[in-house]
Amino acid sequence: MERNVRTVEWVVFRFMWQEVGLEIVKGFGKLFINPLFYVAILFAILLGYVRVKRERRSFRTRILWGWTEAKTMFSDIWIYALVLSILSIGIGLTLTTDWIVAYSIISVLFVVLFMYQVGSPVIAGTLAIGALWIGFEMDVAFSVLNFEWFPNINWISVSLPVAFIIGAAVIVEGLLIRKTAAESASPFLEKSSRGLTVASYLSKRLWMIPILVIVPGNVIPDFFPYWPQFTLGSESFGFVLFPIVIGFQQKARSTLPVNLFPKIGKAVMLVGIMIISLSLLAIWMPIMAVVSLAIGALGRIGIWIYFDTKERKGNYAVAPQSLGVMIAGVLPESPADKMGLVIGECIRKVNGQSVTNEQELYEAIQINAAHCRLEVLDHQGEVRLRQHVIYRHDHHRLGLLVVR
């Protein structure tokens, strides 16, 4: 008898996990029916194409491969996606399909219209909550194919799990900006107000974070009735792999990218922490979740406006110098890259010869083309010496992009 009971328990346990596993697989599959997934990839490819054309127009060469934006939109974030998915499922944060659809539509519009200055997930997430509010208060509904969008759940109760997930996504946004925005900043030449040829840097990126979230479905309450979750009026829950798209655009002009973007990233991370902190108050005051999202959206927009305004003032960080040649960019894996030359440094001498423009720079290289010696003024105003053997196959000889 005991043996039969154990057999039945094993069969039930096995069936339970098969059902849960099947539900998770279905959740992963739902990522590929979300139009936002394909739109984000397409426009990441387009960003790389536009960047390459801009770099070739300024310097007659590209710095990074044209598919870099599409490749790094996934490679930069997989660990964050895994951590956020574990936290989301473990805590039991429940999103509604109506909010996911509203968020996806708003994000698609931001991506297609190249509105990456306001591409932070907190802005799209807050607007999606606003759409639910309008739909709930005004009884607005629509249907697309077999899906019906009808926000019949109070929008305030949806805001708490949304605030937790969006706050975490904004923290990830800040980390990505700190880590990768300076590296991906693309230089281009323009004219200053005094008619000088100067360099500015544009960082324009798309990242996609697929997060496994709980949505109304059938599996969880059947097998895990004590799983922690936020009740939204539904009796059953399932899984969906939901893409959160992060758009970022900022120009560096009066500050070097390596100094500017870590500051922006830190400020964005603080906004994410603030969203989560304020949303905790919603456990006792539900409206605080909405307030935290609204303040977060305003804070993120404020960060963009503040740094954009600040960069428009003052002198250009990379501009022609009378005592040397300013480095506007360095090609990856080139001799200049191997010598440790970086943007914003000034080359004063090449092979013992003083240089003041691009022509003199390359003429001086020919003095000893096989072994190049440079005297460089770094960001701290200190002179350092660099040297490297230049082989025939080294691309673009030295691999420097300079202000002409």
- Residue-wise pLDDT for 112-163, tens only, equals 999 999 999 999 999 999 988 887 777 666 665 555 656 656 678 888 999 9
pLDDT digits (tens, 9 = 90+) for 331-343: 998 888 888 899 9
pLDDT at residue 3, rounded to an integer: 55
Residue 314, sorted as left (phi over 0), alpha (psi -120 to 50) or beta, turns out to be left
β-pair partners for 199: 189, 318
Give the SS3 label for residue 50: helix
Alpha helices in 284-356 (DSSP H): 287-312, 335-338
φ, ψ for residue 357, nearest 5 deg: -150, 175
Q: Which of 248-262, 354-368, 390-404 has the highest mean pLDDT?
A: 248-262
Residue 93 CA to residue 227 CA, distance in Å, equals: 11
pLDDT at residue 15, rounded to an integer: 47
Residue 71 CA to residue 69 CA, distance in Å, equals: 6
Of 101-115, 196-210, 236-250, the one with minimum mean pLDDT is 236-250
pLDDT at residue 19, rounded to an integer: 52
Residue 58 CA to residue 328 CA, distance in Å, equals: 11
Complete DSSP assignment for 310-367: HHHSS--SB--BTTBEEEEEE-TTSHHHHTT--TT-EEEEETTEE--SHHHHHHHHGG
Residue 155 CA to residue 137 CA, distance in Å, equals: 9
pLDDT at residue 248, rounded to an integer: 96
pTM metric for this prediction? 0.86
Residue 29 CA to residue 34 CA, distance in Å, equals: 10
The answer on pLDDT for 240 being more than 60 is: yes
The answer on pLDDT for 2 being more than 70 is: no
